[in-house]
Structure 1
């Protein structure tokens, strides 16, 4: 019941009122509905007083004690509330718009239905306050203390929460989009079901937080401490995380597309399966980070540190990794096809099962102590190298260092040597100053590898593409023309054999090269000139079967030499080509073994009349004995 005595004592003055309160501490003042318009109540003790529905408009309450008081639905328009103690007070239904609340203590006050839109709550203590359902639109909470406050289901869009202490605050279901949370303390924050898209959290402390699954797209998070935070599956597309600390954070399967991560610390972060397409990672620290199966297509990695990172099975195809630190990185089964690694540090990295198709290295690329058992020359785990074995320790590094001056031409189903000679000679003429030569020919099963010496600064990809283009042209366009002339050539060669046999009838007739045996018909073991035909050679007396055996072996060898003649091969390349042909061709091997047993192997030189053939019989003998 309204107590007029209480009202009368209050009107007598603050000092009289405070003395009476001190003398009667158990009395709860009942001032419900009273009009206290423009009353001076500075420093008044109104704790536990019931002022519900009272009209306090224009009153001066600065410094007053209203702790645990009931001001529900009171009229506070134009009231001076500076320094008021509202701890645990009931403030339901109040309209605090336009009031100066500087220095007010609202700790654990009841704010149900309070209108705080546009109110300046800078540095106000709202610890433990339940602000659920309160209108805080456009409010200024800069530096406010919200420790332990409840902010469920609030619309805080556009609210300035910079430098606010939000430790332990419940923000479930709150809309924080476009909110300024720069330099906010968010340790221990419950952000479940919070909309943080477009948020400014720059310089805030979010270390250790559970932010999994949150929408933080386009948020400003630069300089943020998110170390050890759980951001698994979070949406961060377009966010600014430059210079943020994300060390040991879990970002697995997070959407980090187009994110600004410049100079961010991602050391030991978990980024497996993350979407990093178009992300800016320039200068970022990714040492020992787990990037397994992440998508980095279109990402900027310039200046990034990836030492010790887990990049196994990672798709780097087409990405520029030049100048990066990838020392100790795990690149097992990674796709490095068409990547640029000029000056990249791979010291101690792991490469087993990686694809290195058309990757670009240079002399500054560091490959010391690389661990690799094998790699693939083509994407899709095609053309494993080495075939049928693993690299010996250090062999992979030596191979790559040598590759700086070579290009490998690989043929999976045999080589059309006529087309090869045409294309190679064409490129030699077009690149006369490059001094292109064949370094080695290796034949393993059905795969033929031709290793070409090429200057280090030459465009190896361009050379490779130009060669294949010319090779294909020769196979498809020139082969029909060649076959049309082949029949006439075979008849002429057979006629020359007849002349030769007539001149050497004591040696017996050398078998004619029949049209159905092109590998013999196309390559005579002596020099042939003109249409009329001349046969040159210095022949010893051999038994007919020995002579036939050497002639046929020479024909096989000369076929290889004729195909190599226009490629300007080195002596070692020729020797290796013959060695590989002996291994590949069992018929040739048998003929040479027969000549070796008959003691006439030295006479092979007589039958192979070609300037490229300068292989000692002892070398061929060594090839045969090794087999």
Structure 2
């Protein structure tokens, strides 16, 4: 039962509450079902307090002491519990969705079916905690510790476990699909029936881990991944989701029948490291990669580097490079490739940014010139008959005696129509693409769509011929225009 008097004291603030606890026998403090939504209780002492089903949504409990507090079914969604201590606490079915729990301590706590979806748990310590069927989907678990924790059937899909410590953890049936586990320690862990589909495990340590029945579909490992003395009676290479239950089912068993003998699984994994796997998440800058590959060839000539395969796995690209080298040398090649690629992407991005600035400056200059000409036209009448003509610039005598050079582009009516149509199509296409793609991708997308539309391509090529390019450049206002026109001209004149 909720004790209203105790609740009032807690709402008075952490300092007053902590002093009251020092003076009072706190054998039984009941705040069950308490509404503490948004409360600020930094460094509060709530150890041994009954907080079942309490509502701490959006609360600030940074540095709080919740040791042995009863937190079953309590709600901490969006709360701040950074550096909080929740050791040896029953936290069954509690919710921490979107909460901040960096460096929080949950050692030896009972967290069955607790929900940490989208939570920040950097450096959190779950050593020897019971986390069966707990949920960590999309959680940030960098440098977290799950040493000897029970994570049976836990859901960790798309979580970040970079440099996490899961030594001796029981991950039987756990869903680790699409997780980022680079540098994580899984030594002596149990991964029976675990789902590692599309997990990234570069540099991870699986020494003496058990993979029996696990699904390893499209997992990303390389020669820096430690698989010494790993074991598995069998494993799977395909998984699919059951539309009714949402659970994964595995297929494509290896071996097809029977089981692996001693060390056979470990040897099989070692053979998969014959290539250097370069993994590019969320797309790849092809120009930067090809320059990187050329530089690698120069740097490692004696290793005869060649591209074996290029694979697209979801949003990721995996480029397998074959090299005549031992595992240590392959690791050096992979590290160099990553470093050179990052340098090249930064350099190319800087070039594109500079180019866009030049285009913007040119646009501003043209705009200023047009405003100047309009002002001059308003101040005096031109001595030229401009009816029916497209004006690029004007020649007239200014009041100051300066001379403004003018160029008149006169076209036959049918030519004017084709130019206007082509210019309008290009303008609409570029404006539309600018809403969906970053500026650097607009030219490529525009050229691809024009080439995919033969009639549109024919109209634009026809308009460009016979001096129409200059008119289109004046009619269309977009920084990507010059690149698009150059590409179209090149495509229509391949020789």
Q: TM-score, normalised by structure 2?
A: 0.51
Q: 1:433 to 1:278 in 2, by over 3 A?
A: closer
The one of 252, 271, 276 aligned to 2:112 = 252
The 8 Å contact of residues 326 and 345 in structure 1, kept in 2 or not, is answered as yes
Report what 1:500 is aligned to. none
The 8 Å contact of residues 306 and 321 in structure 2, kept in 1 or not, is answered as no
The one of 421, 434, 439 aligned to 2:306 = 434
The one of 172, 194, 215 aligned to 2:54 = 194
Distance, in Å, in 2 between the alignment partners of 1:326 and 1:298 is 17
Could you list the structure 1 runs, at least 4 aligned residues long, displaced by more than 4 angstroms after superposition: 133-141, 164-167, 452-459
Distance, in Å, in 1 between the alignment partners of 2:41 and 2:128 is 27
Rg larger in structure:
1
Matched, 1:392 2:252: no
SS in structure 2 at match of 1:398: helix
- Larger RCO: 1 or 2 (CA < 8 Å, sep 6+): 2
Report what 1:328 is aligned to. 188
Q: Which runs of 5+ in 2 are unaligned?
A: 240-248, 277-303, 310-319, 325-329, 335-495
Cα deviation for residue 208 of structure 1 reads 1.3
Q: Which has the higher strand share?
A: 2
The 8 Å contact of residues 151 and 169 in structure 2, kept in 1 or not, is answered as yes
Report what 1:367 is aligned to. 227
Cα deviation for residue 167 of structure 1 reads 6.4
Matched, 1:146 2:6: no
Report what 1:295 is aligned to. 155
Cα deviation for residue 257 of structure 1 reads 1.1
Cα deviation for residue 184 of structure 1 reads 1.9
Cα deviation for residue 247 of structure 1 reads 0.7
SS in structure 1 at match of 2:97: coil
Q: Which has the higher helix share?
A: 2
The 8 Å contact of residues 163 and 183 in structure 2, kept in 1 or not, is answered as yes
CA deviation map 1:122-152 (0-9, x unaligned): xxxxxxxx86499779845623433499xxx
Residue correspondence of structure 1 range 458-473 to structure 2 within 5 A: none
SS in structure 1 at match of 2:15: coil
Cα deviation for residue 360 of structure 1 reads 2.0
Distance, in Å, in 1 between the alignment partners of 2:210 and 2:262 is 12
Report what 1:405 is aligned to. 274
Report what 2:343 is aligned to. none
Q: 1:197 to 1:148 in 2, by over 3 A?
A: farther
Matched, 1:304 2:164: yes
Cα deviation for residue 194 of structure 1 reads 2.6
CA deviation map 1:180-208 (0-9, x unaligned): 22222222212234322222222222111
Please report the RMSD computed on the Cα atoms of aligned residues, expressed in angstroms.
3.3
CA deviation map 1:319-376 (0-9, x unaligned): 2222111101111111222222211100010011111222222211111111211111
The 8 Å contact of residues 286 and 306 in structure 1, kept in 2 or not, is answered as yes
Distance, in Å, in 2 between the alignment partners of 1:313 and 1:275 is 13
Cα deviation for residue 295 of structure 1 reads 1.6
Cα deviation for residue 220 of structure 1 reads 1.8
Cα deviation for residue 216 of structure 1 reads 1.5
The one of 132, 146, 150 aligned to 1:272 = 132
Q: Which runs of 5+ in 1 are unaligned?
A: 1-129, 150-163, 408-431, 438-451, 460-627
The one of 65, 73, 76 aligned to 1:216 = 76
Cα deviation for residue 274 of structure 1 reads 1.4
The one of 31, 42, 45 aligned to 1:171 = 31
The 8 Å contact of residues 151 and 171 in structure 2, kept in 1 or not, is answered as yes
